A and B are shown apart, each in its own frame.
Chain A
């Protein structure tokens, strides 16, 4: 067996590529300021969407680590450095939210461009929004952003630190520490992620509510995270890293992509079917805005890309064991996740100005470049495999 002491080399070529993507994204956004003139709501909606998109993958990466520790999972030990590296991206979305908050001082920008309930005159005139104002008000919202990110970033850093310490000293001490950390983090994650999904996405339409909403967003994020992990592994393997990772690991990650795509459909259907069936005026506006007009094509395309595509393309065993095919399905799923959240964010923010233009591509590239950079940078900083992880042996001999 080849040596396990292997680090990813972040070559200047790759580094320039990722920086280039971000820079091109920034140029496109600036060009957008000229082309999509005065469309501030669209600007901020895209800021939120792309910021959230990469944030979601990195926070789910931390929750994945927590689940692996609590379940004493062995198969994933050999690939756990990838979610770990992903989690180091978390401070950047935090800065993203700080920018959104900071921009709110200019009226019509930041939060005020995204959330109706930040406008006091509207809230005062609306008894429902007045009733919600103890929760939905700018101050509390900002406090919550800080609380969420404080918990998430601290835990993510702790995982990383413990894991790297384990590489040095071995033994069970740091493993047990991570199990304890997971037991604390997972319930906290459950609550904070639910509230974050309500705060950032659901409150865009402040009159509307759905209790399953956060579960649906989480399911999307989980599929996206699995996709990114699987793609990263394949790309690393293609560049002669991590040769001990076999198609068995990819198969398992593929199964997660498949299963949670179905789970996403389940939560989607639970929400849609119940609202459609009961037909209550409090709940239907969400779908009324999305199932008629031009939105309806995207609405059904979303279902097709997020359910039918992975379901049919990943059903066969061999499909989950063929790297190039995984890359293809992964690309489809990454688009699908973007579309899923696009449909949630855009109708009540960008509204009629929404479309697919410089802002959309620009913000995606801008945040995507940073995400890839941070992932690659963190991978290069630690060993690609946690050499003293107590269950590593199971992962290295993993067979499906």
Chain B
């Protein structure tokens, strides 16, 4: 059994045991939804409905209802597409990459983050499909002979790579997420009080029993899925960046795009996880599981990826100058000081400056500050895509075709519609599915709370790493032996310990 250092902040707080974990997570699926839930759900439904109206409008009257023109062929649609796909990156990062890095704080948030991924990818997928105008020809995306004649889609095209990348990403994320759900759905099943409920959740849990042989394979499957999802999640935004970078348009063609897009995607994805979880942990009373420590860890990742994005902006700008290629140089001057300067500086403010505020411990441990900053990052990352797409296109090699782009209400409505759609799914998920991976939290419960050397177990409000450290008395030469002694046979430990109160 692995051991945790006494100074590591517990990942679970409160008077929690295995049974209360089940109670707290399954509870919301068993009770009638709260008023807050109905309120949010209704708003999401309204947004979704307005979106359906706008999408229908676009299909009826064609792409002419958008503000696109001959110069700017990609506007709100692709901006929104890339924005949503980016948001969809955090879930798989949390469930796959952080699993490989054994970051145990992921266990409390991976379920909801991955659900978010799946819904975000669904939102993203709508934009390219509706951008075709004739949505009834959407099957032409697929490698079928076109109109069943001998002409195939072009496998040299990054747009077709996108089709493969996003459909693979969606499928694998769904499979990964659902496999992880089985044990928790079985928990809900085994608590069922009506036959109907039992049958539904048994159907959904595939007849899971928790047999040791199943767990043994389950863990290996999770690990391998994490192993293959890691390059997958990198590949998706890489391929999205190829949509731009394989071209010769100044501002689009640069080799840093793949890692820079991936960093940006993780950055925006974590911001969205923050936005959702800061609210969800309070409304669903999950503060014991999604602690300030969890929010702080995510804030650190936001600072890291935000700084990477910042360095990439700098590199791009520097290389544009260094290249000696005047079109490239113009593209960047135009970004910062052209007619869309406000979009560029919004991007810089939100993406480069706001995440640096998380260097302050007070800010990154304050849910309110985190919520506000996460909204800024979401906005900033939307502007990043707008800057890359629209500003690069609006003034190209031929000054006579320079133009401006203004979105119409239809485009804006479609964007609002996908936000409604996203939250619509998320509310349903929060009502009917376990929002925290119970089995995984139970796995670390003992280690992170009572499995530590004595004295490290302190009430939340008194938690102080220095104090925990002193209590553990690490300067004591027998420290390692006494800690090792906790390895076996201290099963009663957590009963005798003073329970922490929140």
Contacts and interface: CB of A to CB of B under 8 A. Distances in A.
Contact of B253 (A4, A127, A274): A274
B315 A211 contact: yes
Nearest to B481: A1
B231 A394 contact: no
Contacts of A129: 324
A131 interface: yes
B480 interface: yes
Interface stretch (B46-54, B254-262, B409-417): B254-262
Contacts of B7: 172, 390-391
B14 interface: no
Contact of A277 (B4, B246, B466, B481): B246
**Consensus secondary structure, chain A interface:** helix
A270 B255 contact: yes
Interface in B247-284: 247-248, 253-259
A382 B480 CA distance: 20
A190 B359 contact: no
Interface in A222-272: 255, 259, 262, 266-267, 270-271
A394 B359 contact: no
Contacts, number: 122
Interface residues of B, number: 51
Contacts of B483: 393
B300 interface: yes
A282 B325 contact: yes
**Consensus secondary structure, chain B interface:** helix
Contacts of A150: none
Q: How large is the interface on A (under 10, 10 to 19, 20 to 34, 35 or more residues)?
A: 35 or more
B248 A280 contact: yes
Contacts of A278: 245-248, 253
A396 B480 contact: yes
A262 B102 CA distance: 20
Interface string B306-342: 0110011011100100111100000000000000000
Contacts of A211: 254-257, 312, 315-316, 319
A212 B102 CA distance: 29
A280 B480 CA distance: 61
Nearest to A214: B315
A357 interface: no
A319 interface: no
Interface of A: 1, 4, 70, 72, 74-75, 127-129, 131-132, 135, 170-172, 183, 187, 190-191, 194, 198, 207, 209-215, 255, 259, 262, 266-267, 270-271, 273-275, 277-278, 280, 282, 388, 390-394, 396-399
Interface of B: 1-5, 7-8, 100, 102, 230-231, 234, 238, 242, 245-248, 253-259, 300, 307-308, 311-312, 314-316, 319, 322-325, 359, 453, 465-466, 469, 474-475, 479-481, 483-484, 487
24 contacts: A72-B8, A128-B324, A172-B7, A172-B466, A172-B469, A190-B308, A191-B311, A209-B323, A212-B255, A212-B256, A212-B259, A214-B315, A266-B238, A266-B259, A271-B255, A278-B245, A278-B253, A280-B253, A390-B474, A393-B3, A394-B3, A396-B480, A397-B3, A398-B2
Given A198-B322, A282-B323, A399-B2, 5 more contacts: A194-B311, A209-B319, A211-B316, A212-B255, A278-B245
